[in-house]
Amino acid sequence: MSEKIHQLAKKIKIEFKDINLLQTAVTHRSYLNEHRHENLEHNERLEFLGDAVLELIVTEYLFNQFEKKPEGELTSLRAALVKGDNLSKIGRELSIDDHLLLSRGESKSQSRSKNYIMANALEAIIGAIYLDRGYDACKKFITKHIIKELPGIINDKLYRDPKSLFQEKIQEKAGVTPSYKLLSQSGPDHDKQFRVGAFIGSEMVSQGQGLSKQEAQQKAAENYLEKDN
């Protein structure tokens, strides 16, 4: 076991009984394609578990913290906390990117897929903590590193869906519903990039790029809202 994985355990302040779980959590499938001789597993099963644990703990916190909020608002707050962009930002704060085992191609990539991989690795780490240290240790970790983002999300209204905000603003200003058009798509199937334009009538007012058409639309809406503030 490399010294780097012990450094990561110290960084996230979790004393693992089985450090191999943390190693698995930061091992991407692409790495194994180039290192078949190494006796390692990729992190997808741990990510599956961690995703469910994260959602449960965040849901429990929001349910107890906001007794008067309806289900729709709680769902929006939860989505803002567990979305990939937020998790990848937290992953960088924890230096997870310095410990990811990736293929040479993925290591060099600066695309959105790198953030996606890091967000998945954080979920896998949560899965590893859950298996190794249990629910309470997971709850402490998630509260410290993820739920701490909630005040900023509420203050900046980041829980509001950008497409809904964009539509409300345009309908109020121009009395029309904005539309989206696919401008281009590029890249291999595992890292396809979509570029979408947001239109008011026939005028394109912003563009956005993402790993899916939906994500590109969200980005286009976000970019317009940032310009319009």
Residue 169 CB contacts under 8 Å (≥ 6 apart), including other chains: 225, 228
Q: Is 161 a residue of the active site?
A: no
Question: Per DSSP, what are the bridge partners of residue 198?
Answer: 180, 206
Q: Which of 51, 106, 132, 222 is catalytic?
A: 51
Distance separating the N- and C-terminal Cα atoms of the chain = 50
CA 164 to CA 172: how far, in whole Å? Answer: 12
Q: Which of 47, 106, 123, 215 is catalytic?
A: 123
CA 51 to CA 176: how far, in whole Å? Answer: 38
Q: What is the DSSP string of 76-128?
A: HHHHHHHSHHHHHHHHHHTTGGGT-B--HHHHH--SHHHHHHHHHHHHHHHHH
Strand order across the 193-200 sheet: 179-186, 193-200, 203-210
User: What are the tokens at 219?
Assistant: 């980005």
User: What are the tokens at 169?
Assistant: 């603003």
Q: What is the DSSP string of 36-60?
A: TTS----SHHHHHHHHHHHHHHHHH
Q: Is 215 a residue of the active site?
A: no
CA 176 to CA 217: how far, in whole Å? Answer: 17
Which residues are identified as catalytic?
51, 123
